[in-house]
Amino acid sequence: MRANSLAFRLFLWATGLTVVILIVTGVALSSIYRQAVERAFDRRLDVYLRTLVADVASPEEGNDKFPQSIGEALFELPLSGWYWQVTRLDTPKPEVHSSRSLWDSNLPRLTDAGDTTAGGYRKGYAQGPEEVWLRLVERTIDLGDDGRYLIEVAGDASEIDEEMLSFDRTIGAIFAALAVALLLTTALQVRFGLSPLKRISASLAAIRSGRAERLEGEFPVEIASLARETNALIEANREIVERARTHVGNLAHALKTPLSVIVNEAAARGGDPLAQKVLEQADIMRDQVARQLERARLAARSGVIGTLVEVPPVVTALARTMEKLHRERDIAIAVDVPEHANFRGEQHDLEEMIGNLVDNACKWAQARVAIEVVADRRAAGGGAGGEEGDKPRVRVIVDDDGPGLSPAEREQVALRGQRLDESKPGSGLGLSIVVELAGLYGGVLTLGTAPIGGLRAELALPGG
């Protein structure tokens, strides 16, 4: 899953939200449960406190005002963590009576620190004997002439902590399992929820490469309109290109006839200087019109979506044709092509580009011409790491064993109509036509030195 993909970002967002929700929920549940445990613990202490208050306020006939036991064995066990203490406050020196479990210690007071309830009870935590943390409740009662007393009952707070630790472990294990289940569910939802978008992406790639003409199949309601609008856009693009082709053809025919009339009229006047000038300018005009119409035609072709041509058959057929055309010079043409290599464009344009390169190589070769086709994903110009570098490319490499060209000569022959040797047939337009056609498709022609000694022409074009 790529770091910059929508599915990955959605998964991270859902994961973070799930973890935050579970942590907040766990903390809230732990806090609520601790309050419940403390309330239950306080009710237990309150029972003992009420028993002590009743014994102090109304002792049974013949018994001491301060009980030795309130029915709980823990109050008899020394330093058990469970204690009670009754302190008379209205005497010069406070009289203290306590459970046997306190031994020689005293309980701390919560009079100023604890939470006071509506019934006059105070409760809170305090450090008791042996530095044990206690949960303590106390109450002050005034019996008039019988005295004023502070009654305290304390229990070992570690019981609360142990209960909370057990609860936290249980809730942690449950929430961990729940988190794993939720994350797996989220991952499945993201994966299958975005699968229609992946189908659209794959279908668009197939349309772009020429394997399909439109988005096919059923899509969910949420993106069905997107698929319909995309198909409508593709059809509109095809119609626009077709209209452009029609207009180009009509313009070509509209200009062809007037130019022919001008040329014929000028040619009929023989050596008239004006007629010669008209012929000269008419030829220039015809060449410029043909060139611009060709550019418009090629631009319209290159904008068509889904045009894909197999390169190996084109190269093989051109090699056989060129061997026949240059049979009298006995030029051997070696062809090395892969099984599958495609060009995204028109077959006529591919034939014209490769045909010009091979014909030029045969004209200058001494005995050998080599043609190699390479299909790869490198962008023309060696762009590495960019978006362009990820697009499929097809390279056609034509080598000959002729005299080759210097760097300055390579720049000159790519210009339109430039020829270095007038003894060779042709108009000098071959390589410039290749440069223009390749540029219209986003390709490039590179000239260099061939391993077999002559000129290397490397044509990089969009593949599929």
Residue range 351-365, pLDDT digits in tens: 989 999 999 899 889
Whether the predicted pLDDT of 60 surpasses 80: no
Query: What is this structure's pTM?
Result: 0.47
The span from the CA of 88 to the CA of 182, in Å, is: 61
Q: Average pLDDT of 325-337?
A: 89
The confidence score (pLDDT) of residue 293 equals 66
Residue 77 CB partners (closer than 8 Å, separation 6+) = 100, 101
Higher pLDDT, 77 or 272: 77
Cα–Cα distance list, 427 to 14, 280, 286 (Å): 67, 16, 15
Alpha-carbon distance of 455 to 369, in angstroms, equals 10
Output the CA–CA distances (angstroms, integers) from residue 60 to 56, 67, 72, 84, 141, in the order listed. Answer: 10, 10, 19, 19, 18
Q: Contact 295/289 with Cβ under 8 angstroms?
A: no
Locate 3 and state its tokens: 């770091």
Arithmetic mean of pLDDT over the chain: 80
CB 299 within 8 A of CB 440: yes
Please report which helix (H) or strand (E) contains residue 334, including its range: strand 332-336
Residues pairing with 342 in the sheet? 310
> How buried is residue 333: exposed, middle or buried, by Cβ count under 10 Å (0-12/13-18/19+)?
buried
Whole-angstrom distance, CA of residue 140 vs CA of residue 121: 8
pLDDT at 202: 81
pLDDT of 169 above 90? yes
Q: Averaged over 440-461, what is the pLDDT?
A: 90
Residue 222 pLDDT grade (very low, low, confident, very high; cuts 50, 70, 90): confident
Report the distance separating Cα 82 and Cα 242, nearest Å: 97
Q: Is the pLDDT of residue 67 over 70?
A: no
Question: Does the pLDDT at position 418 exceed 50?
Answer: no
pLDDT at position 291: 64
Q: Which conformational region is residue 428 in: left (phi greater than 0), alpha (psi within -120 to 50 degrees), or beta? A: left
Strands 332-336 and 368-376: parallel
Question: What is the pLDDT confidence band of residue 382, given thresholds at 50, 70 and 90?
Answer: very low
Q: Of 30-34, 128-132, 179-183, 271-275, where does mean pLDDT reach its minimum?
A: 271-275
Strand pairing partners for 95? 88
Share of the chain above pLDDT 90, in %: 26
pLDDT digits (tens, 9 = 90+) for 97-135: 888 888 888 888 886 544 445 456 788 999 888 889 999
Residues of the chain with pLDDT > 70, as a percent, come to: 81
Instruction: Name the least confident of 156-160, 166-170, 255-259, 336-340.
Output: 255-259
pLDDT at 395 over 90: yes
Average pLDDT estimate for 18-30: 91
pLDDT-wise least confident of 73-82, 249-258, 297-306: 297-306
pLDDT at position 37: 94
